[in-house]
Structure 1
Amino acid sequence: MFRSLVAALAVLSCQLSPTRAAAAIAEQKDFSITNTNVSAVWNQTEWSLTTVDYVPAQYQSRMSLSNGYVGASLAAAGPFFEYDMNQTNPDGDEPANVWPLFSRRLSFSTISGFYNVQQNGSGTNYPWLEQYGYESFIAGIPHATGIIFTFGDASLDSTADPSEISNFESSLTFKTGVASWAYKWSPAGVSTTFQVSFKAIFSRVTPNLVAVEAQITPSGDVNGKVTDVLDGRSAVRSYLADKKLDEKSTTILTSVHPDNLPNVTAYLVSTAEFDDKYTNKKSRVEASAPI
C-alpha cells in the first residue's frame, strides 16, 4: 500500500555558495566487482571517498549515513529520497528487492528497533511456520533530509536529468561522517543556471539529530521556492499517525506507526533556517500535494 506522509514549507530563496568543480570523466555504469574503471578517489589525509560520476536511480551510487540509531540512504543528486529505475526499459518492471519481500527498491530510512507485524512475507524458507502466527520486518520512517529547490516548473531532486548536471562531485568523509555534493545545475526551460551544494550529517553525539546544509547560487536574479520535506515514500511497512505545520515557526513534524502496531510511534520534527537577506518568510505555505 502506498502512503505519502508529506509536510512542507515553501519560501522564496537564493543563497550564496562557493563554486565547486570536478574533472569530467566517463560516466560510471558498470558496478560489477570485476570492473576496474571505477571513478572514485580515496584521500588518505581527509579519509574521504569522492566520485565525479552522477548516476541517478541506482542503489550502487547512493550514499548511506547512520549513527547507530537513525540512518538513511541518500540519492545520487543529494540528500533526497530516490527510487531505483529500470535503466534499460523505462516501461519495464521496476527494480525490486529480492527475497523475502520483493518490494520496490528505494532509498530506505529507519530508526533502531522499528519493526512491523504482518501475516507473512512474500517468500519464506519454512512455510509451515506460518501456522504459528505473524512475521515481523523492519519498517521505514519518512525520509527527513530532503530540501528541494524549485524555479518555474523545474525542481531539483533525485530525478534531475544527467544532461542538466555538470561539474559533479560527491564525497563521504569517514573522519567526520559528513556527506557532501556539489555541482552545476542547468534545468531545462530555465534561463538561469545554479551552483548547488549540500552537506548532511547524522550526529553521533546526539543520536536523534540529523542536519543538512543546502546552498544554491543562481547565475542571475531569479525567484523560486525551497521545500523542506518529510517524505513518506520511504516509510514502507508503516502508516501515518499525524502531520503538522507550526504556523509560528519554520518547523514541520510527522509521526508514523509500523504496520499493525499502533502502540509504537516514530516522530520526526524538522526546522529550517534561512538567510534572511534572500528569503521572504511571509510566503511560507504548506505543500498542496505530495512530492
Structure 2
Amino acid sequence: MTSARVAVWTDGGARVVDPTEPVVTALDLGLGRGDGCFESVLVTGGSTPQLAGHLTRLRRSAALMELAHPGDDAVRAVVGALVADWPGEVDGACRVFLTRGLGDGTPPTLLALLAPVPAETLRQRAQGVAVVTLTLGLAADVRAASPWLLGGAKTLSYAVNMAALREAHRRGADDVVFTSLEGQLLEGPTSTVVWAAGGRLHTPPPETGILAGTTQARLFAAAEADGWPTAVTPGTVADLHAADAVWLLSGIRGATAVVRLDGAQRGDAGLTPRVRELLAG
C-alpha cells in the first residue's frame, strides 16, 4: 500500500521527511490559531495537471490574510518532491499548508502532505452523495463588506466546516450545502455547488464570500467551449430541488452528483458523464 509522504520548505529548498518526523513547532501560529491557508491538489497519473489554478488561489488566500508567501517555485518544489516517484495508478491528495510560522517577521511555514485519496472519497465520486442544507448564520452580502471575515480565502480555520459535516452524518447524509440567513445558496464545507437548469450550468456568486472553485472554473470554461451555457446565479434550496442535476465540485473528489437532498431522492438527468468528460478534457 502506498504510504503518506511529507515535504517541508527550508533555506536549502524542499526536503522530504519521514511522515512521523516533527516538522511544525507547537508555537507555530498555524497550529495555535489556525493562522494560515492551504490547497488540496489532485495527483493523478503521477502528475498534478491542475496545480496552476491552486497556485493562483493560494497566492490570493495569502494576500487576503496579509501572509508572507515564499513564491510559486517553493510550492512547486515541495509538491514536486512528493510526486516525483508517486505511482501513476494511485490517485493522491496533496495538501499544501502555508502558515504565519512564529510570527513577528519570521519566515512562514510551508509544507506539503501527500497520501492516497481515501476510499470513502472514491466511493462518493462514483456513487454520489446525500446532502443536507444548513445555515452558515451570515447574510449573503456581509463577507464582501467585511474583509476581516476572510471571505474567499481558503484558510486553515475549518472547525465549523468539519462540525457541519459531522452534523450531516448525524442526519444520515454525506455532505452539506451552506445557505445564508436569507436562504441563498453558498457552498459546501469543502466544495462548490453547481446545478443544471434551463439548459445552463449555474453556480452561486463569489460576492457572497464563497471560495472561488478551481474545478468549477475549469468546468464552466470547458462547458462554454462545448456550447453549454453557464451563469453565476443567486439560488435557493428550492432551485436545487427543481434542477435537472446538482453536483458538488472539488479538486480531489471531482464532480460528485447529489443523489439525495434534504431527504428527497433526486437524479441527474444523465448529465454527470458529460460533466466529467468536460473536466477530463
- TM-score normalised by L of structure 1: 0.26
| Higher RCO structure, 1 or 2 (CA under 8 Å, sep 6+) | 1
Higher helix share: 2
Highest CA radius of gyration, 1 or 2?
Answer: 1
Higher strand share: 1
